[in-house]
Amino acid sequence: MKIERVHVHQALLPVVGGAYRMSHTTVEALDSTLVEVVTDDGRSGWGETCPLGPVYQPHHALGARAAIEQIAPGLVGTEIDSPRAFARRMDGLLAGHGYAKAALDTAVLDLLGQQLGVPVSTLLGGALVDRVPSYYSVIVGDPDASAASAAAKVAEGYRRVQLKVGGRDLDHDVENVRAVWAAIRGRARLAVDANRAMTAAHALQFDRLCADVPFAFEQPCDTVEEMESLRGRLVHPVYLDETTTDPGVVLRAIAGGTADGFSFKVTRLGGPTRAAFVRDLCALRSVPHTIDDAWGGDVIAATCAHVASTVDPRLLEGTWIAADWIDGHVDPEHPVEVRDGRIAVPQGPGLGVRPDRDRLTELATYG
Ligand code: 0XW
Ligand code: MG
């Protein structure tokens, strides 16, 4: 199976409700990039990468497309042998830029799955479940609204809630944490995510002020060094998200005891192939983690569901997908969505989703 062409498509995804608020940024519409890799035997494999705006982490939509433009011409005419050989080929065309390569890695897994007649999860080691738990992310807001939204989602079936904090005075956030916990206590677990907004001093204070509320404290500070400075000083377990920029950082955090868990983003890790590697690192030390992405439509949601289905259920904290914040689906026939707090893993072969090209804008073709 040889690559004949690579198409780059765009999906513009306005946020349902107008805005998604985190500590340092509010997004109103997301710019998603989809790749379609067409082979000489007439198959199309799909992948997606969708940075959460330009400041959530050092990723942006134009950067993803520039990286793909750098890589794609060198892929045309080459044989698809294995995901690892393909990753090496991409690394030989461009260093770094894992979040762009992630879309191509996904597309190749989709193609190999179709060729072999198996779902992507089988190529990643094999699904252990056919539905994966999701979790709901409550945006930065006021206690009444946050508690009401958390309670409503738990009533729908979610068993984990993530509350966004940061970017305002600590007391306000402490009040919010208490209100949300009172609303879900006994029915769901809680994670509190500052998205890098706190200083180490603020993180220490916040941790003490909420010492009686059990939650996983997600990425309070910006840098690996700040996070390392908190080791052994917090009451709450610490989960790393934005600083897990590659498998090496994950290895160091596990070995050094700086993380009790992770909130992984598949594209940030470089795609499903690398995410499966990191899954296995976590399994060695029984470290819990999510498998999600920062944003994206059905293709990313399907990708995350396939990877998550291969994680030991004891260690899987859940899979967040953006479906609740997106109006409609790029694959209306096989929409990936949360039902009763869980996501059905699409049935293969391949990814099990086929975007409708009429819902996308084609931006470039290579080959
Ligand atoms: C909750 N998420 C998975 C969705 C938002 O994109 C941010 C992210 C996170 O945990 O930071
Ligand atoms: Mg996070």
Ligand 1 pocket list (CB less than 6 A)? 52, 137, 162, 193, 195, 241, 263, 292, 294-295, 320
Mean pLDDT of 20-32: 92
> Among this protein's residues, is 101 annotated catalytic?
no
- CA dist 124 and 103 (Å) reads 16
Radius of gyration for the chain, computed over Cα atoms and rounded to the nearest angstrom: 20
Contacts of residue 357, Cβ cutoff 8 Å, sequence gap at least 6: 9
> Is the pLDDT reported for residue 251 higher than 90?
yes
Which of 80, 13, 3 minimizes the C-alpha distance to 35? 3
pLDDT value of residue 348: 80
Pairing of strands 3-14, 29-39: antiparallel
pLDDT value of residue 186: 95
What are phi and psi for residue 298, nearest 5 degrees? Answer: -60, -35
Contacts of residue 356, Cβ cutoff 8 Å, sequence gap at least 6: 330, 331, 332
Mean pLDDT of 314-329: 96
Which of 191, 212, 220, 204 minimizes the C-alpha distance to 289? 191
- How many Å lie between the centroid of ligand 1 and the Cα of residue 294? 5
> Among this protein's residues, is 2 annotated catalytic?
no
pLDDT value of residue 296: 97
Pocket test for ligand 1, best of 50, 245, 263, 290 (most atoms within 8 A of CB): 263
> Is the pLDDT reported for residue 24 higher than 90?
no
Mean pLDDT of 16-27: 90
In this predicted model, what pLDDT tens digit does every residue of 161-202 receive, in sequence order?
999 999 999 999 999 999 999 999 999 999 999 999 999 999
Q: b or e along 308-330 (b: 16 or more beta carbons within 10 Å of the residue's beta carbon)?
A: bbbbeeeebbbbbbbbebbeebb
By percentage, how much of the chain surpasses pLDDT 90?
98
- DSSP string covering 276-314, please? HHHHHHHHHTT--EEEE-SS--HHHHHHHHHHHHTS-TT
In this predicted model, what pLDDT tens digit does every residue of 62-114 receive, in sequence order?
999 999 999 999 999 999 999 999 999 999 999 999 999 999 999 999 999 99
Mean pLDDT of 291-318: 98
- CA dist 56 and 58 (Å) reads 7
- CA dist 360 and 36 (Å) reads 11
Pocket test for ligand 1, best of 149, 161, 241 (most atoms within 8 A of CB): 241
Mean pLDDT of 194-216: 97
| Closest ligand, as measured to the CA of 239 | 2
Atom nearest to 322 CA in ligand 1:
4
- How many Å lie between the centroid of ligand 1 and the Cα of residue 49? 14
For residue 28, the number of C-alpha atoms closer than 13 Å in the C-beta half-sphere is 1
Which of 327, 331, 339 minimizes the C-alpha distance to 359? 331
- CA dist 102 and 334 (Å) reads 22
